[in-house]
Structure 1
Amino acid sequence: MQIFTSLLLLAHPASQDASPDPDWDCANPVQQQEMNWCAANEFVLADAELNRQWARTSAAMRMRDDAWGDDVSPDWDARPGWFDSLLEAQRAWLTFRDAHCRIDGYAARGGSLEPLLVSTCQTALTKTRTQELRDLEDWDR
């Protein structure tokens, strides 16, 4: 999964280390361009945390698959394992997030506010998904 979001980050303007304008302050953004950059940067940070949690959760799912082992009889349970199900869900979630947030942006379609709306939506959904992944990792503890 990290590959999917890493490709997005490479193309994302906020993946740069420093703001385009040294006077910009994300604690108190003033101009629309500054707000857009700060919101995009917030998404980059949320996405990085999602990727770290993905690594932990996917490792936990693989361990569950290993623990389940050869006891699975295809005659009674041919469903995909924990990791395969998680991967399928994550791919679907990424598609959902991007389409849903694109719709959020349409409230200002073509305007300078659109990137802020999209990034804010992506950040919110990504933080929620990170918690969901954390809960999946911890559910049997």
Structure 2
Amino acid sequence: MMRNATVAGLLFLGVMPALAETNNFDCNNALTQAEMDSCASQAYEAADAELNKVYKQVVAAMQAKDKAGPQANGDSGSALEALRQAQRAWISYRDRQCELAGLEARGGTMEPMLVSSCLARLTRSRTKQLKQILLSSER
């Protein structure tokens, strides 16, 4: 039941950016819960877009590392596969952690905002981690 409410809340977040465009409000001065939900959703979408861009760069770097061969870099496993497994595990963690964050206002009007804010925060953090991996691979 709780999972259905979370899924419904996340689906609702998908329509919120359209509401923000039609209402034309400033996220720095959001007044209603619907505006705050929309702004949190937009922040998550922006963070997710940046994460996807950086992730693609890291994938390319790991592919290059794997092509260099284990003798060249001292590794015995696939850097790309390790990255993919780590990313899958992180996504699972992020989703469960943000579901938990939303439970603070279970079923309330703040729940979508809490979930989106958590998703944005953790996604920005993961993007920083991926950028560090990218920098390390360039050395």
Q: TM-score range by the shorter chain?
A: 0.7 to 0.9
Q: 2:17–2:38: 8 Å Cα contact kept in structure 1? A: no
Q: 1:24 Cα shift?
A: 2.0
More helix by share: 2
Q: 1:43 Cα shift?
A: 0.2
- Structure 2 CA distance, aligned partners of 1:39 and 1:61? 32
Q: 1:80 Cα shift?
A: 3.2
Q: Could you say which residue in structure 2 is the equivalent of 1:105?
A: 102
- Aligned match for 1:12, one of 14, 19, 27: 14
1:45 paired to 2:46: yes
Q: 1:15 to 1:26 in 2, by over 3 A?
A: closer
1:31 paired to 2:32: yes
Q: 1:97–1:122: 8 Å Cα contact kept in structure 2? A: yes
Q: Could you say which residue in structure 2 is the equivalent of 1:5?
A: none
Q: 1:81 Cα shift?
A: 0.8
Give the TM-score of the pair, scaled to structure 2.
0.82
Q: 1:105 to 1:35 in 2, by over 3 A?
A: same
Alignment of 1:84-123 (within 5 A): 84-123=81-120
Alignment of 1:60-139 (within 5 A): 60-68=61-69, 71=71, 80-139=77-136
- Structure 1 CA distance, aligned partners of 2:119 and 2:128? 14
Q: 1:15 to 1:33 in 2, by over 3 A?
A: closer
Q: 1:14–1:44: 8 Å Cα contact kept in structure 2? A: no
Q: 1:21 Cα shift?
A: 3.9
- Structure 2 CA distance, aligned partners of 1:135 and 1:109? 35
Structure 1 gaps of 5+ residues are 1-7
Structure 2 gaps of 5+ residues are 1-9
- Give per-residue Cα distances to partners, 1:13-67, cap 9 Å, x unaligned: 2464x62542421111000010001000100000000000001011001100011
Q: 1:15–1:44: 8 Å Cα contact kept in structure 2? A: no
RMSD (Å), alpha carbons: 2.3
Between the two proteins, the alignment pairs up a number of residues equal to: 126
